[in-house]
Amino acid sequence: MPDPCCPARTFFRLGLFVACSAAAALGAQKQSPAPKPERVGGGLVIAMPSGPDGFLYPVSGTATGSTLSALVAPALIDSEFKNGRIVYRPALATRWQFSKDKTQITFFLKKGVKWPDGEEINAHDVAFTTELVADPKVASPRRNSVEHMDPKEPVTVIDDYTVRFNFTHAYNQGTMMSHAAPGTIVPEHLLGKADRTGLRKHPLHKQRVFGHGFFDLIKWVPKQYLVFKRNPNYALGNQSGLLAHLDRILVRIVPQYQTQLQALKSQQVDLIETVQEKDLLEVKSWPHVKVYRKGLRAMDYICYNLNDPLFQDVRVRRALTMSINIQRIMKTLLTVGGEVVGVQAFSTISPELTDYKAKGIKLLPYDPKRAKELFAEAGLRDSDGDGMLDRDGKPFRFTLSTNTGNPRRADAVVLVQDDLKRVGIEVTIERIEPNTFFDNLRHRKYQAALAGWSAGLFVDPSPIWGSPSKDDKKPFNHCDYSNARVDALITKGLNTADFDEEKRCWEEMQQIIYDEQPYTFLFWRPQFFAVNSRVRGVKPSILSTLFEIQNWWVPKGERAYDL
């Protein structure tokens, strides 16, 4: 589901592994048709604020890792977003079939698709990938995808090209697909004997990236750049059955947003993933740039570490939210041409999933006076007249962290700090490098954090809101939230094939979580990205900025450089 995380589809959809050359080994494969000659060639330069954490799907947990891995990864299925829901398309699996009792899904794989060393990608690799995700030794952030499968035999290899996923209950088809094929496939013949506790340090994760995708990763200098080369031997084919058009893609790691903007303006890069709302009008005025808008998938929030005694009283958390003027934050940060382009959030289910739109949830008002009353009920008062809240003489103060490279969040934490000072709370702001920041969230090394999700486009709240356990730490449940009724609703909602019952579960769950305020939910916002206008074929999608990048191309007369 998430931004660091995510979960999601096609580019945010998935995760990992790379074909790293070995064209001779792939030469015997049936090749996809070549694109039109006039569209083949040229390069694309992309600026990103941070690099990937790695390329092995079972252990990768960042949005950048998923985005870049999708360039090079063999995936079981592909997807697009239509009419408020995910629509699945063939990739390695040419077709799939659901059992009559809705407890099994069988995938039928394409034959002859090979890893770079010539070994065939087959059903054993698919089953092995699921095995790794399920193994507690791996400590996979993706483990929620197997929670609802038969623990004795989650996957059955019927033959080399047929694999069946076995679920514990009847599920709706969307839930089954999202759990059976949430990511990409790893090579069993290379990882089968690897130390499962050390996969994050394995060369295939950090150095010798290995897979089969539209592109090959040919060079990676951490914290500086990555270079991808068109794979002429790609055997899966995209929706139109063509190979990728671009010869190369250079990803430059540019941590600072303003530096990205200047690089786009001076045509040193062709694409930046995010244009902040305050810069939209200026960027749109640049004649060589086109701005694209995606749907409401990005959500910003403040999460509270519930292991910290400061935040364990629900009255304190509700009072914090009532002390923060969310409408002012939205108006300040999300106004474009006089219009506020975001909507206030109340849950982690995207408003784009119109089938699941909850009704009747009453948002907490901005009410500093009532907030102070709640603080007082929780034992926090200004006992010494210094204007700051305290309990037994100990001031109520905490550190609010966020990631660097995001001016919107940099401005938001200052606005939050100002609002909370007005009710007597001292907030220290901490800005941290993105990979370190998100690692701190996963390991609960923070007090409060302003972060964001790139929401999953299927409903599975278990990674964020399911209770952590000894065997499953729920790395995306950053605040360590735990509620038995929410757990029961998640189980029931995921285990029913009745849509109306499922929807009722999610509505009640959202109400409970909002009432308990483990987050101060801020806003959903559309995402804007900018691309040099010489790049053709760009298809904006809520799934990813780089959606169907294999179909992007640059006319010969407009190619600015060869990479």
Q: How confident is the model at residue 28 (pLDDT cuts 50, 70, 90)?
A: very low
Q: Which residues of 127-156 are buried (b: 16+ CB within 10 A; e: fewer)?
A: bbbbbbbbbeebbbbbbbbbbbbeeeebbe
**What pLDDT sits at residue 169?**
84
pLDDT digits (tens, 9 = 90+) for 507-526: 999 999 999 999 999 999 99
Listed in order, strand segments (DSSP E) in 27-154 are 43-48, 77-82, 85-90, 93-98, 104-109
pTM over 0.85: no
Helices 499-516 and 484-494: crossing angle, nearest 10°?
A: 160
| Rounded Cα–Cα distance for residues 128 and 146 (Å) | 13
pLDDT of residue 23: 30
Q: How many residues does the chain have?
A: 563
Type and span of the H or E element at 462: helix 462-465
Crossing angle of helices 368-377 and 314-323, rounded to 10°: 160
pLDDT of residue 34: 60
Closest C-alpha to 65, from 141, 136, 145: 141
Taking only the tens place, the pLDDT of each residue in 549-561 is 999 999 998 988 6
Residue 13 has pLDDT above 60, yes or no: no
The confidence score (pLDDT) of residue 16 equals 27
User: What does the mean pLDDT of the chain come to?
Assistant: 89
pLDDT at residue 35, rounded to an integer: 66
**Quick one: which H or E segment has residue 488?**
helix 484-494
Q: Which of 454, 444, 448 is nearest to 430 (CA)?
A: 448
Q: Give the pLDDT score at 26.
A: 31
Establish how many alpha carbons lie within 13 A of residue 236's alpha carbon, considering only the half-sphere containing its beta carbon: 32
User: In the structure, what pLDDT confidence band is assigned to residue 563 with cuts at 50, 70 and 90?
Assistant: low
Q: In this structure, what is the dihedral angle of CA atoms 406, 410, 412, 413, given to the nearest 10 degrees?
A: 130
Q: What is the pLDDT of residues 302-321, one digit of tens each?
A: 999 999 999 999 999 999 99
Is 116's pLDDT higher than 60?
Answer: yes
Percentage, residues of the chain above pLDDT 70 = 92
pLDDT in tens, 118-165: 999 999 999 999 999 999 999 998 888 898 899 999 999 999 999 999
Q: Which residues contact 272 (CB under 8 A, 6 or more apart)?
A: 46, 47, 260, 261, 263, 264, 529, 530
* pLDDT tens, position by position, 171-199: 888 888 988 988 889 999 999 999 999 99
When pLDDT is averaged across residues 436-447 and rounded to a whole number, the result is 95
Compute the chain's Rg from CA coordinates.
24
The confidence score (pLDDT) of residue 14 equals 28
Tens of pLDDT along 478-502? 999 999 999 999 989 988 888 899 9
Domains of the chain, earliest start first: 23-264+534-558 (3.40.190.10), 296-525 (3.10.105.10)
Is residue 18 very low, low, confident or very high in pLDDT (cuts 50, 70, 90)? very low
Amino acid residing at 311: F
How far is Cα 521 from Cα 529, in angstroms, rounded to an integer? 24
Predicted pLDDT at 115: 93
pLDDT tens-digit series, residues 184-239: 899 999 999 999 999 999 999 987 788 899 999 999 999 999 999 999 888 875 44
Would you say residue 11 has pLDDT above 50? no
Where do the DSSP E strands lie in 455-561? 519-532
Residue-wise pLDDT for 239-267, tens only, equals: 445 789 999 999 999 999 999 999 999 99
Mean pLDDT of 358-364: 89
Going by their DSSP bridges, the two strands 155-159 and 162-166 should be labelled as: antiparallel
Which of 246, 291, 247, 239 lies closest to 265, judged by CA?
291
| Rounded Cα–Cα distance for residues 48 and 224 (Å) | 10
pLDDT of 470 over the 70 cut:
yes
Strand order in the sheet with 93-98: 93-98, 104-109, 162-166, 155-159
Alpha-carbon distance 342 to 333, whole Å?
9
pLDDT at 33: 54
How far apart, in whole angstroms, are the C-alpha atoms of residue 144 and residue 137? 15
Dist CA 446 CA 439 (whole Å): 10
> Shortest CA distance to 516 belongs to which of 562, 553, 482?
482
Q: What is the mean pLDDT of residues 292-311?
A: 96
